[in-house]
Chains A and B, each alone.
Chain A
C-alpha cells in the first residue's frame, strides 16, 4: 500500500462528508414554508447600532430606522469615533426622544464590537423601570450600513419567533444592498467595475442561498446561528446570559455566533427568519473581502472552544450537537482539505504521467473523470446560483450559468481564508481592524486596530 492510496481514500471521504452536508441543507431549504407574522406592538424594540467613524452612513441609518419602524428605539454606540459620528448622533438624539447616544471613550473603547454592544445593554437596562417586563423588550443589532426589511418586526413578533416564550434570539436573512450597483468602484476601470459587480453578486448569492440553507437546517436541529447584522435577542435572555457569564456578548471575533451559543446554553431557542431580511453592503474589493472572511473564519475557530459545553449541555438537541460540532470543526476540515487535495491532485498527475510517459497522453486518458468532477466538484456549488436565479433574483439561463461557474470559483476564497485564519491562530494574532465601508474605501486607514 503506497502513501497515496490512504490520502486518496481520505480525499474521497472528505468529499462524501461535504456532499452529504450539501444534500442536508438543500432539502429543508427548498421545502421550507413561510412563517406566520405577529403583532409588533406587543413588544418594545431597541436597535443597537455599534459605530466607529461612520459619519458617512450613520445619519441615513438613523433616519431610515426611525422612518421604517416608528416603534423602535435606536441606540447608537459611538466607540470613540475620530470623525463626526458622535456629533451626528447627538444631533439626532436631541431632535428625537427615541434616539439615544451611548458614548464610549478610550481606554474603555475600541475593545471590540461585543464590548460596545454590552455598553448599550447596560445603558438600556439602566434606563428601564425595575418592574419592566424584560421578556417583552427585544434588542436587534444593526450595522451602521444596515437596513431592516419593512416586515422585520412583524416576522420577529410571529408565533415561531418571539411569540414563542422559549425563543431567546432570532436571525433574519441577509441581503446585499449593493448587489445591483453598476458602479461599485467609482472612478475605476470597466474591468474593475465588472469585478466589483461580480463580487457583490456572489456575496448576495452566498448569503441568500448557501448561508440561508445552513440556517434552515439549523432551524430543524435547533442550532440557528446569529450573525453580526439583523440579530434579534430577547432582553430577558441577554439577562440570563449576563447572570451566568458576566455579560451577554463575549470576546470572540464572531461575537454574534458566540451569543447564539450562549443563548442556547442558557436554555433558550434561536430561530431563523428567512421571510424577512437586513440589507448590508457587500465588498467589491477582493482584498477587503478576504480580510473580512479571514476574520470570520478565525472567529469560528475560536468558537470551537465551546464544543465541550455544547456537548455537555442538556439544552442542546442531539441533532443540534452534531450540527454545531460540524460547523465549528468545518474550518479545520477545510485546512485538512488544503493539504490533502493538492497532494492527491499533484501525486495523481505525476503518477499518471510516469505511467503513460506523457502528461498530455495521461490527461486524455483520464478525461473520463471530467463528468464526475462536474457532478461532485462543481454542481454542489453551482446549484446555489441556480436556486437564486430561479427563485430570488430571476435572470436568464445564460446569466444563471455564468453565475454558477463564477460561484464555483468564488467559494475557493474560503480555503484562502481558512489558511490565513489558521496561521493567525497559530501565531496568536487576534487583533483586527474593522471592515471599511465602501463610502470610505478611498481613505487611508489610520490606526484602526480593534
Chain B
C-alpha cells in the first residue's frame, strides 16, 4: 500500500497563535467571581428584595393578598387566615445564583470563550433560577392553603427540592451550552478556523 492514499496531519497543524480573551471579558469575569462572596455577605438584603418579588408570585396563586415584610412573605391577607413564608438563607435564590455567577466568571477568564455568548447564557440561567424558586415558593404557599402543613411539607421538602435541583443543574448546563456553541475565539474580529464542537449532537 502507498502512503499517498492518506492525508496525514493533525488538526490545525502548526498553529502558533494562542486563543484570545478580551480585557473586558476578564474584567467582567473577575467582577462576577467577586460578586459571589459579596452576595453571601449581603444575603440578608438580597432575601428582603427576594421576598418583595416573591409576594407577586404568591399573590397570584393564593386566596387573599400577599405582602412582604423583611424576608417574610405573608399570604392569605383578608382571607381570615394569614401565614408567613420565611425565606431563609438556604432557601434563597442567592444559593442558586452563586454557582451560576461563579461558573460564568470562570468561563469568562478562560481564553477563547465569547463574552457576549456567556453573558446571554448567564442572564438566561439567572432567569431560570428565579423562575424555579418563584414556582417553588408559590407552590408551597398554595399547598399550605389547600392541604395544610402536610401539603406544604410535600411541596417544600420533596417536589420543591427536586425542582430546585433540576433547575440549578439546567441553569449550569445552559451557561455551558451558550459558551461552547460559540467555538473558540482566536482574536479580535476573526473567526477561528477551528471546527467548533457542537453541543447536544453526536459531533
Spell out A's residues near B (CB within 8 Å): 1, 5-6, 8-9, 12-13, 15-17, 19-20, 23-24, 33, 42, 133, 135-136, 165-166, 168, 220-222, 236-237, 240, 266-269, 311-322, 325, 368-369, 371-372, 375-376
Contacts and interface: CB of A to CB of B under 8 A. Distances in A.
A315 B10 contact: yes
Nearest to B103: A17
27 contacts: A1-B43, A1-B89, A5-B89, A9-B90, A17-B172, A20-B173, A133-B1, A133-B6, A165-B8, A166-B9, A222-B197, A267-B13, A268-B10, A269-B11, A311-B110, A313-B19, A314-B15, A314-B19, A315-B10, A315-B194, A317-B180, A318-B112, A318-B183, A322-B176, A325-B110, A371-B158, A372-B158
B99 A319 contact: no
B158 A220 contact: no
B6 A318 contact: no
B147 interface: no
B121 to A, nearest CB: 12
A16 B167 CA distance: 10
Contacts, number: 132
Contact of A165 (B2, B6, B182, B183): B6
Given A166-B10, A237-B10, A314 B172 contact: no
A236 B43 contact: no
Contact of B112 (A13, A267, A269, A321): A321
Interface string B168-186: 1100110010011011101
B197 A8 contact: no
B116 interface: no
A240 B12 CA distance: 13
Of residues A15, A165, A168, which shows the largest number of chain B Cβ atoms within 10 Å of its Cβ?
Answer: A165
Q: Is the interface of B mostly helix, strand, loop or mixed?
A: loop
B33 to A, nearest CB: 14
Contacts of B81: none
B153 A368 contact: yes
Interface string B63-99: 0000000000000000000000000011000010011
B196 interface: yes
Contacts of B111: 311-312
B70 to A, nearest CB: 15
A13 B197 contact: no
A315 B11 contact: yes
Contact of A318 (B1, B44, B179): B179
B161 A372 contact: yes
Contacts of A222: 197
Nearest to A23: B169
Contacts of A221: 197
B44 A1 contact: yes
Nearest to A43: B1
Given A1-B44, A165-B8, 6 more contacts: A20-B169, A133-B6, A165-B7, A220-B203, A313-B19, A318-B113
B202 to A, nearest CB: 7
**What 8 A-B pairs are tightest by C-beta distance, nearest first?**
A267-B10, A133-B3, A317-B197, A318-B180, A319-B180, A20-B169, A135-B8, A268-B10
A94 B13 CA distance: 42
B165 interface: yes
A372 B201 CA distance: 31
Nearest to A31: B202
Nearest to B110: A311
B191 interface: no
Given A6-B40, A16-B99, A24 B196 contact: no
B12 A314 contact: yes
B17 interface: yes
Contacts of A321: 110, 112, 184
B11 to A, nearest CB: 5
Contacts of A133: 1-3, 6
A162 to B, nearest CB: 10
B27 interface: no
Contacts of B95: 9, 12-13
A238 to B, nearest CB: 12
A232 B176 CA distance: 31
Contacts of A16: 99, 165, 168-169, 172
B90 A375 contact: no
B17 A314 contact: yes
Nearest to A371: B158
A322 B169 contact: no
B188 interface: no
Contact of A9 (B13, B17, B89, B157): B89
Nearest to A163: B6
A372 B89 CA distance: 20
